[in-house]
Structures are given as C-alpha cells and as structure tokens.
Structure 1
Amino acid sequence: MVAIVAYYRVSTDKQNRSGLGLEAQRAAVEGYALGGGHRIVAEYVEVESGKRADRPQLAAALAACRLHRATLCIAKLDRLSRDVLTIATLMNGGVDFVAVDMPHANRLTIHLLAAIAEHEREMISQRTKAALAAAKARGVRLGNPNGAAALLTGCREAAAKGGAASRQRADQRAAQILPLLRQLEATGCNSIRAMATALNVQGVPAPNGGVWYPEQVRRALRRAEA
C-alpha cells in the first residue's frame, strides 16, 4: 500500500464552486487509489491559472508528501506541466509523483517537459529580438522618447507591488508551515532550534529553498501568528 497526497487544480473560482473539472480529477485519483490498493492521506485544491508558478497549495501538498512519506498524485500531467518553474519545483522537491493519465511518467518525463518549455522560451526571446532589430533597421524609433524619467513612476509602482507580493508569499509560506510547527511542539520540540533541526531532518524546504535556521522558524511563527 502506498500513501498518496492528491493535488487538484482548477483555473477559476467559478469552476471551483461548480465542481467543473474538480470532481472529474477527484474521481480519477480515487479510482487510481482504489485500483492499486493505495491510501489517500490528504488532498489539496488549487484555484489558479496554469500559467502561474506561485502555487501555495502545491507547496503544501509537497510538504505533506514529505511529512507522510507519500507520493503526489495528480489526475492529469498538464495540472503541473504548463509552467517551467512549477516543473522545476516538482523536480527539486524530492517527492515521488504519479499522473493518472500517464502512470508511467517519471522524473525523466518531467525533465524533458522542462527542457522543451525552456527551449520554447528561448525561441520566443530570439524571435522578439529579431523583430526589434528588423524594426530598428526600418527606422522605427524604439523605446520611450522621454527617457528613463518617464519610467520612474512606473518603477516605483512596480517596486511597491513587488514588495507587497513578496510579503504575501511570505505570509502564505508561514501559514503553510504553522501546522507542522504545532505538530512538532506536540511531540516535544519546544525550542526554536529543535524545530529547525526537525524540519531539516524531515526534508521540509526553508522559504529560500535551503535548510532551516532558528531565526527563520522564529520569523515564520511571528508571521503566522500575526
């Protein structure tokens, strides 16, 4: 028997409320588990576009897989493979996975998908540069005629939005890790240093993708409890 963590994704709130697509994914995963005699220990639902790499529920599902030593199970491979960063997150997560629609897909398959996506991104960049060079050769004036001063306001706005987005991601990560920290407290890990050590032993990645340090645990607790 294999422990399974199910991950489902729909693109809109409307689909989430109606169950459109979600129920089909759940039925596929439950059928796979039943047919193989596996046990679903947790499930996570993401309401997000396939173009977005920031997937809080996917991160939570991967953390649950490490906690339960489970396999990540998805109904369709395209629930993960539309964005190269999402693919990289799965590849570097140290978690086994299975896609019901491609049960024989493995890390090599994911690696190939990531390579194809990376190649396509490079080709788009090259085509864009070629088009700009051709326009410049025809005498088209590129860029803002007012220079960098005209972009100052936009840069400030972008910086403010970027800071807010970073804080939001940090708050989300803190909320995701809080249940694990509470479980550690219940098992006797009452110090910040002991919690950091336990998280590293379990293979739970720190916010920066590396190892946990006591100060990171302290900040996560402060954010989650704020």
Structure 2
Amino acid sequence: MAHYAYLRVSTDQQDVDNQRHGILEYANKQGLSGVVFVEDTVSGKKNWQDRKSGELLMKTMKSGDQVIFAEVSRMARSTLQVLEMLEFAAKSGLEVHIAKQNMRFDNSLNSKITATVLGLAAEIEREFISMRTKEALAKRKAQGMTLGRPKGRAAKVKLDDKAAEIKGYLAKDISKRAIAKLVDCSPSTLYDWLERRKLIKA
C-alpha cells in the first residue's frame, strides 16, 4: 500500500508550506508513513484528468493506495469534478483523505454525501469572492477612481528604504546579484531601482 499527497502549487510559498504542513500533520495522526508528494503547478481551472491529480489517480496509484489532499478546494474547482474524482477513486479501490476536514472517503453513501456538500461549499465560496471583487471594482469605477495599477513609475518604491544600505554595498564592490540577496529582492528589481536612482547606467 502506497501513500501519496497532492499539492497544487501556487506562487504563494507560504500557502504551499501550509498545505504540506497540514498534510504531514494529518498523516502522522493517521499513521500514514512514507508519504510521496506530487506537486502540480497547473491552474485549478483545468480538468482534473488533464492535471497531475489525474495522472496520480488513473495511472500511478493502485488498488489499496491512499492519497491525501490538503483541503477539498485543492482537489478541483467544481463540485462535479470533486465527485468525479471520488467516484473514480471508489471504483478503483483508492482511498481519499482530506486533511483540513479530517475526513476519509471510500465508497460509502455518507462519504458521497459529505463530498457533495464540501465541494458545493468550496464552489459557492469562490462565487462569493468573485462577486465581491466585481462589486468592489464597479463601485470604484462609479466613484471615478482609476482601476488597476497607476500608470508610470511610482515616486517611492520599497528599496528606497534601503538606499543607504545598498549604496554601502556598492561602495564595497559587492556584486549586484549578491546585493539583491542581502536586501531580499530579485536582481531585476535591484537593477531597475539602481537605474531609476541613476546609480548605474541604463
């Protein structure tokens, strides 16, 4: 019996770490050892069969294997897809765990009912978030406010607060790539700032 965990990786590292931590904590409580993590960077809007979750369930896992998801919203982006995944898993003899809700899904009726409710709740919440975002943007537009990022460059940027520190590093002939690491920014951000402040030639 093999134990897998599915991570839908986002650009937010903290979110990824939270998923991993929640899954490992759940696995320890359930006595599931040797968990193999599968990371997926594809958008959740893509059908589950065409993502690594589909490859995991349909090709990698064998009957009796178990897979852990951090939460139901990490499985798929619609109730229908969540149910399709659970149905496939049940027919294939696979066991699905959802760490956040501390739940285990098999082929029982209670599991199917709970899966429907959880999937629907996640879908409704996304709809509410989308609706609130659209309403907020419409309100700002009605008030004559500019939507999106302001045009042109900002007068003050984050690295301005570290100007003295950066100039000190430059005076010591420390490489710009090293300076970027010291001030916790990307090299491109540092180069842009140096150019804006006329500390290097464009």
Using structure 1 for the length normalisation, give the TM-score: 0.41
Structure 1 or 2: more helix by fraction? 1
